[in-house]
Chains A and B, each alone.
Chain A
Amino acid sequence: MLEISHLSYQVEGEEGQELGILNDVSLSVKDNQFVVITGPNGGGKTTLAKAIMGLVKPTGGTIRWNGTDVTDLDITGRARLGISYGFQQPPRFKGLKVKDLLALASGSKTLTREEGCQYLTKVGLCAGDYIDREVDASLSGGEVKRIEIATILARKTGLMIFDEPEAGIDLWSFAKLTETFKLIHQKREATLIVISHQERIIDLADEIVMIADGQIQKQGPKDEIFPQILANTSAGCTYLAKGANK
Chain B
Amino acid sequence: MDQAEWKLLKEIADLEKTPQGAYNIRRNGQLDSRNNTANIEITTKTEPGKSGINITVKSGTKHESVHIPVIISQTGLSELVYNDFFIGDDCDVDIVAGCGIHNTGCETSQHDGVHTFHIGKNSKVRYVERHYGEGPGTGKRIMNPQTVVYLDEGASMNMESTQIRGVDSTKRETRIVVGKGAEAVITEKLLTHGQQTAESDMEIILDGEDATGRVISRSVAQDDSVQVFYPKMTGNTKCFGHVQCDSIIMGNAKISSIPAIVANHVDAQLIHEAAIGRIAGDQILKLMTLGLTEQEAEEKILDGFLQ
Q: Could you give, for residues 265-307 of chain B, a 1 whenever the CB lies within 8 Å of some chain A CB and a 0 otherwise? A: 0000000000000001011011111111110000011011111
B5 contacts the other chain (Cβ, under 8 Å)? Answer: no
Q: Do B286 and A53 touch across chains, with their CB atoms under 8 A apart? A: no
| Interface of chain A residues 62 through 104 with chain B (CB within 8 A) | 74-76, 79-80, 84-85, 87, 90-91, 93-97, 100-101, 104
Q: Do A96 and B289 touch across chains, with their CB atoms under 8 A apart? A: no
Which of B246, B280, B282, B301 is the one whose CB lies under 8 Å from A87? B282
A220 contacts the other chain (Cβ, under 8 Å)? Answer: no
Given the known inter-chain contacts A53-B289, A87-B282, A104-B287, please indicate yes or no for A76 contacting B304, CB distance below 8 A.
no
CA distance A87 to B292 in the complex (A): 16
Q: Do A105 and B282 touch across chains, with their CB atoms under 8 A apart? A: no
CB distance from B55 to the nearest CB of A (A): 33
Q: Do A75 and B285 touch across chains, with their CB atoms under 8 A apart? A: yes
**Chain B residues within an 8 Å CB radius of A151:** 290
**Closest partner residue, chain A, to B307 (CB atom):** A95
A45 contacts the other chain (Cβ, under 8 Å)? Answer: no
Q: Do A95 and B305 touch across chains, with their CB atoms under 8 A apart? A: yes
CA distance A101 to B293 in the complex (A): 15
**Chain B residues within an 8 Å CB radius of A91:** 280, 282-283, 285-286
B218 contacts the other chain (Cβ, under 8 Å)? Answer: yes
Q: Could you give, for residues 207-230 of chain B, a 1 whenever the CB lies within 8 Å of some chain A CB and a 0 otherwise? A: 000000000001000000000000
A107 contacts the other chain (Cβ, under 8 Å)? Answer: yes
A55 contacts the other chain (Cβ, under 8 Å)? Answer: yes
Given the known inter-chain contacts A93-B283, A95-B306, A95-B307, please indicate yes or no for A79 contacting B301, CB distance below 8 A.
no
Which of A55, A96, A107 is the one whose CB lies under 8 Å from B285? A55
A155 contacts the other chain (Cβ, under 8 Å)? Answer: yes
Q: Could you give, for residues 140-162 of chain A, a 1 whenever the CB lies within 8 Å of some chain B CB and a 0 otherwise? A: 00000000000100010000000
**Chain A residues within an 8 Å CB radius of B286:** 87, 90-91
**Chain B residues within an 8 Å CB radius of A80:** 291
**Chain B residues within an 8 Å CB radius of A55:** 285, 289
**Closest partner residue, chain B, to A83 (CB atom):** B289
**Chain A residues within an 8 Å CB radius of B285:** 55, 75, 91
Secondary structure of the A contact surface, majority rule: mixed
Most buried by A among B282, B283, B290, B293: B290
Q: Do B282 and A76 touch across chains, with their CB atoms under 8 A apart? A: no
Q: Do B300 and A104 touch across chains, with their CB atoms under 8 A apart? A: yes
Q: Do A100 and B289 touch across chains, with their CB atoms under 8 A apart? A: no
Q: Do B280 and A104 touch across chains, with their CB atoms under 8 A apart? A: no
CB distance from B83 to the nearest CB of A (A): 31
Tally of A interface residues using CB under 8 Å: 24
Q: Do B288 and A75 touch across chains, with their CB atoms under 8 A apart? A: yes
**Chain A residues within an 8 Å CB radius of B287:** 104
Most buried by B among A79, A80, A93, A151: A93
Which of A76, A84, A94 is the one whose CB lies under 8 Å from B294? A76
CA distance A84 to B285 in the complex (A): 12
Given the known inter-chain contacts A55-B285, A75-B285, A104-B300, please indicate yes or no for A94 contacting B291, CB distance below 8 A.
no
Q: Do B289 and A94 touch across chains, with their CB atoms under 8 A apart? A: no
**Chain A residues within an 8 Å CB radius of B307:** 95-96
Q: Do B291 and A79 touch across chains, with their CB atoms under 8 A apart? A: yes
CB distance from A131 to the nearest CB of B (A): 15
Q: Do A104 and B292 touch across chains, with their CB atoms under 8 A apart? A: yes
CA distance A104 to B299 in the complex (A): 13
**Chain A residues within an 8 Å CB radius of B290:** 79, 101, 104-105, 151, 155
CB distance from B140 to the nearest CB of A (A): 30
CA distance A55 to B281 in the complex (A): 11
Q: Could you give, for residues 100-125 of chain A, a 1 whenever the CB lies within 8 Å of some chain B CB and a 0 otherwise? A: 11001101000000000000000000
Most buried by B among A85, A97, A104, A105: A104
B residues adjacent to A (C-beta < 8 A): 218, 246, 280, 282-283, 285-294, 300-301, 303-307
A residues adjacent to B (C-beta < 8 A): 53, 55, 74-76, 79-80, 84-85, 87, 90-91, 93-97, 100-101, 104-105, 107, 151, 155
Could you write out 23 A-B pairs with CB less than 8 Å apart? A75-B288, A75-B289, A76-B288, A79-B289, A79-B290, A79-B291, A87-B282, A90-B286, A91-B280, A93-B304, A94-B304, A94-B305, A95-B301, A95-B305, A96-B300, A96-B301, A96-B307, A104-B287, A104-B290, A104-B300, A151-B290, A155-B290, A155-B291
